Structure 1
Amino acid sequence: MTPYINADLHCHSIVSDGTLTPEVLAQRAKANGVELWALTDHDEIGGQDRAIEAARLAGLRYLTGAEISVTFAGTTVHIVGLGMDHTHPALVNGLRATRGGREMRARAMSDDLARVGIPGVYDGALKYVDNPELISRTHFARYLVEAGVCKETNEVFRKYITEGKPGFVPHRWASLRDAVGWITESGGVAIIAHPGRYKLTANEEYALFTEFKTLGGQGVEVMTGAHGQADYVKYADYCQEFDLAASRGSDFHSPEESHTDLGKLPFLPGSVTPVWELLESRIH
């Protein structure tokens, strides 16, 4: 398969922190010219059966997916899995365990915000959550915009819920070994999501890629909504250096909030191996 296909292998539905259903996402992807699609909800595969059926009805080729939160060098890093058996016990049980700490973290965030004069944020954020196990900072941000505390969700993150701000509470996620293991044990391919977004030093980033490759990781997102032109070039070069396949995904969450719509990224460069070449037998 050519790298020049409109694949979008990273997006989110109401099952995690997106605002659209899997069915509406499939229709939007099809309307935007997407040829190969994956739904990759955070730490959750509960929308996969719906997405498989929605893709079939829309005439879209489909890969199962999930985005797993990992703690690496004190930073939250995301690993996308594609093409997994989403019923595999290792994956199902692992994701259930990593979801478990979200509610406690969310309540602690709410308590911190109350101490700076913003009460009731946990209950307010729940209005935006389809799955309470997956309450996240994004749900907090949507409520704080609704409440008039900030004008847009990006402002909430800047002022309140990133490291060093009054509503930030760190959470210990899965290890890199765990995430890559759950994905590969269930027949999928592990991919480092939007690496240009992390605040890692050059040495830490090199360590991330080295350990990821050693553990059996096989890909990296080159084209993604969080990357600019310099990132496209840098991570295409990393594909060569670390012998990794390249992935492409918008990281779409919402028509109102996302910078990049489904299917609207540049094509992968011809110098890389597209990740879908490793996954042809897994495409629905």
Structure 2
Amino acid sequence: MRIDLHTHSSASDGTDTPGDLVREAAAAGLDVVALTDHDAMSGWAEAQRAADEAGITLVPGLEISTTFRHRGVHLLGYLPDPAYPPLVAVLDRILAGRTARTPAMVAALQARGIAITEDDVRREAGGSVAAGRPHVADALVRMGIVADRTEAFHVLLNPGRPGYVDRYAVPLEEMIPILAAAGGVAVIAHPWGRSGGSVLDEAALASLKELGLAGIEVDHQDHSPAFRARLRSIATDLDLVVTGSSDHHGLGKVGHDLGVNTTDPEQYERLLSLAGRPLGG
């Protein structure tokens, strides 16, 4: 069984529709795929229809923007109740922050002499629930300012760069209990990718487990072999679920092909058990 538990569609910042993403997952030989769009659950219904047609198991999920010790941390939530009021309220606030940030980013880039407009960004956002930095990056690529999203972030859109504007993200210590109360399973995405390793050490992960953290994403393209080995050891010591995934964004992220990393079936079964679901459910 081949299982990929972290992918994105055009409902957030991927380039494939939810249905196309699921069909591509099936064509790539996956048996299980999780749709984990940023702060959004709007792609679930379309993805489920495609999964039913393709004979592949869909795990509904999302990737939530949080902060921990003044650092951004992405939290994967699997199988929550999408109508749970506190979860809906948090996501609405996060998405409002995304929406409000776009004009500020555009203005900051214009101040640097880049002739980008809000309409340019909206065209790239397409069916996304809210425009975000990746859509600004895509607009810059289309304009020929940068070669790809990676360059756009590195040169213009990361913290400390000319086009970066901060936005609201929920504290991780608040989000994990909300997700658990919604019946979901909380897994930290790429914990040692980017700058996460500076705050998400074993002691921090142990404290987060006490709040309901269920697992960590170990096998990810942002993790070196040494990081993966150490994280796997920490997960064993803390009895956390270990996941692996692609973090696929379609054409929006190079080197993250569907199934490039996968989750062990026994770990997947643990995740489903924590959500109160039978294997394959």
Q: TM-score, normalised by structure 1?
A: 0.90
Q: Structure 2: which 5+ residue stretches go unaligned?
A: none
| Alignment-derived partner of residue 160 in structure 1 | 156
> For each residue in 1:124-145, what CA deviation from the matched residue of structure 2 results, as whole angstroms up to 9, or x when unmatched?
1111113464211110111101
| Alignment-derived partner of residue 59 in structure 1 | 55
Amino acid aligned to 2:267: P
Alpha-carbon separation, structure 1, partners of 2:79 and 2:141: 36
- For 1:84-99, what aligned pairs fall within 5 Å after superposition? 84-99=80-95
Alpha-carbon separation, structure 2, partners of 1:244 and 1:53: 31
The alignment partner of 1:127 has SS state of helix
Alpha-carbon separation, structure 1, partners of 2:252 and 2:116: 24
Alpha-carbon separation, structure 2, partners of 1:140 and 1:208: 33
The alignment partner of 1:40 has SS state of strand
Amino acid aligned to 1:243: D
| Alignment-derived partner of residue 188 in structure 2 | 192
The structure-2 alpha-carbon separation of the partners of 1:195 and 1:92, relative to structure 1 and needing over 3 Å to count, comes to same
| Alignment-derived partner of residue 255 in structure 2 | 259
- For 1:107-126, what aligned pairs fall within 5 Å after superposition? 107-126=103-122
In the alignment, is residue 106 of structure 1 matched against residue 106 of structure 2?
no
Q: Determine if contact 1:113/1:121 at 8 Å carries over to the other structure.
A: no
Q: Structure 1: which 5+ residue stretches go unaligned?
A: none
Amino acid aligned to 1:94: V
Match of 2:246 among 244, 250, 254: 250
> For each residue in 1:168-227, what CA deviation from the matched residue of structure 2 results, as whole angstroms up to 9, or x when unmatched?
112230111332123211211100001121314645534541332121010000112322
Match of 2:146 among 135, 144, 150: 150
Alpha-carbon separation, structure 2, partners of 1:175 and 1:235: 22
1:94 Cα deviation (Å)? 2.1
| Alignment-derived partner of residue 175 in structure 1 | 171
Match of 1:7 among 3, 9, 31: 3
The structure-2 alpha-carbon separation of the partners of 1:212 and 1:130, relative to structure 1 and needing over 3 Å to count, comes to farther
In the alignment, is residue 43 of structure 1 matched against residue 39 of structure 2?
yes
Give the share of equivalent positions with the same residue, in percent.
32
Amino acid aligned to 1:9: L
| Alignment-derived partner of residue 267 in structure 2 | 274
The structure-2 alpha-carbon separation of the partners of 1:233 and 1:62, relative to structure 1 and needing over 3 Å to count, comes to same
Q: Give the superposed CA RMSD.
A: 2.0
The alignment partner of 1:81 has SS state of strand
1:263 Cα deviation (Å)? 1.4
> For each residue in 1:42-70, what CA deviation from the matched residue of structure 2 results, as whole angstroms up to 9, or x when unmatched?
00011111112211111111211000000
Alpha-carbon separation, structure 1, partners of 2:215 and 2:263: 16
Amino acid aligned to 1:34: L
| Alignment-derived partner of residue 205 in structure 2 | 209
1:275 Cα deviation (Å)? 3.9
> For each residue in 1:56-89, what CA deviation from the matched residue of structure 2 results, as whole angstroms up to 9, or x when unmatched?
1111112110000001122111000112222333
In the alignment, is residue 26 of structure 1 matched against residue 22 of structure 2?
yes
Q: Determine if contact 2:36/2:76 at 8 Å carries over to the other structure.
A: yes
Amino acid aligned to 2:5: L
Instruction: Pick which of 129-138 and 151-160 moved more.
Output: 129-138
In the alignment, is residue 76 of structure 1 matched against residue 72 of structure 2?
yes
Amino acid aligned to 1:254: G
